Amino acid sequence: MKKYARAIMVIAALTLGLLFVFPMWKITLLAPQYPTGISIEIFVNNITGDISNFNIMNHYVGMKTITVKGFPELAYMQYIVLAMMALGVVIGLFGKKSHFWIWVVFMIAFGTVGLYDFYIWEYNYGHTLDPAAAIKVPGMAYQPPFIGRKEILNFIAYSFPALGGYAVGISISLAGFAALIKRK
C-alpha cells in the first residue's frame, strides 16, 4: 500500500481539475410559482444558471444584481487551483512526507478562507438592500442559508455543495490519506 502513496497524492491533486467541469456550489429557490425551482451554480471561474430570473425576482426587495464581474474571486481563484494542482503533482512525484502534509494544510486553509468568503458574500447579498426598493419588509434580511435549507418569505432556499465542492473534499481526503501512509 505504501508504495502507492505518491500515485494517490498525484490523483488527489488532479481531482481538483473537476472544479473546471462541475460547479462548487448550488443555490436553489423554490416557490409555488417556481415549481421546478430556479438555481444558480457557482464555478471556480464562473456563475451559471437562472441568473437573470434570480435578479428579476430579487430586485423587488432591492437585492444587488448578481453578475460574474461582481465576484473578483472568480478572476483569480482558478489560478490558485491550478497552482495547487501543479504543486500537488510535483510533491506527489518528488516530495517528502512533510511536503504532503503541507499541501493538505494549505488546501484546508484555502477551503476555509473560500467558505468564509462565500459566507461574507451571502451576508452582504442578503443584507445590502437598495433603499429605493419597491418592497420593503421591516427587519427582513434575505441571506441564503450557508449550507442547508431556509424559508425566506414565500421561498424555500437551498444551498449545498455541488460536485466540484465534493471534489475538493475528496482531494483533501486523498492527500491526507497519502500523507498518512507515506514513508519518510
Partner 1 sequence: MKYINKMKSVLTLIVIALIVAGISSCGQQAKDTDAFRKGALSSDVASRVYVAPGEYDEFYAFVSGGFSGQLAVYGLPSGRLLRVIPVFSVDPEKAYGFSEETKPMLETSFGFQPWDDAHHPELSQTDGNTDGRWCFINGNNTPRVARIDLTTFETAEIIEIPNSGGNHSSPFTTENTEYVVAGTRFSVPYPQQDVAINTYADKFKGMLSFIKVNPESGLMNIEFQVLLPAFDYDLAHSGKGKSHGWTFFTSYNTEKASTLLEVGASQNDKDFIAAINWKKAEEYLAQGKGHDVPANYKHNVYDEATHMATSNQMNTVKVLLPEECPGLVYFLPTPKSPHGIDVDPTGEYIVGNGKLSADLTVHSFTNMIAAIDNKEYDTIIEGIPVLKFEKVLAGTVKAAGLGPLHTEFDGRGNGYTSFFISSEIVKWKVGTWEVLDRVSTYYSIGHLMIPGGDSKNPQGKYMVAMNKITKDRYLPTGPEVTQSAQLFDITGDKMELLLDFPTIGEPHYAQGISADRIVSKSKKIYKLEENNHPYVAKSEDATKVVREGKDVHVYMTMIRSHFSPDNIEGIKVGDKVYFHVTNLEQDYDVPHGFSVMGFENAEILVMPGQTETITWVPSRVGVYPFYCTDFCSALHQEMQGYIRVSAANSTTELKWSLGE
Residues near partner 1, by CB under 8 A: 38, 50, 52-53, 56, 60, 134-135
Side-chain-side CA neighbours of 107 within 13 Å: the count stands at 29
The DSSP H or E segment spanning 8 is helix 5-15
Q: CB of 92: closest distance to partner 1 in angstroms?
A: 44
Toward partner 1, which CB reaches closer, 21 or 135? 135
In this complex, which beta carbon is closest to partner 1, that of residue 35 or of residue 72? 35
Shortest distance, CB of residue 100 to partner 1, whole angstroms?
A: 48
Q: Return the residue matching grid coordinates 442547508.
A: 148
Identity of the residue, 33 or 184, whose beta carbon is nearer to partner 1 in the bound complex: 33
Give 60 or 76: the residue with its C-beta nearer to partner 1.
60
DSSP string, 147-171: SEEEEETTEEEEEEE-HHHHHHHHH
Residue 148: CB minimum distance to partner 1, A: 26
Q: How far is the CB of 53 from partner 1 (least distance, A)?
A: 5
End-to-end alpha carbon distance in the chain? 14
CA 177 distance to own-chain centroid: 23
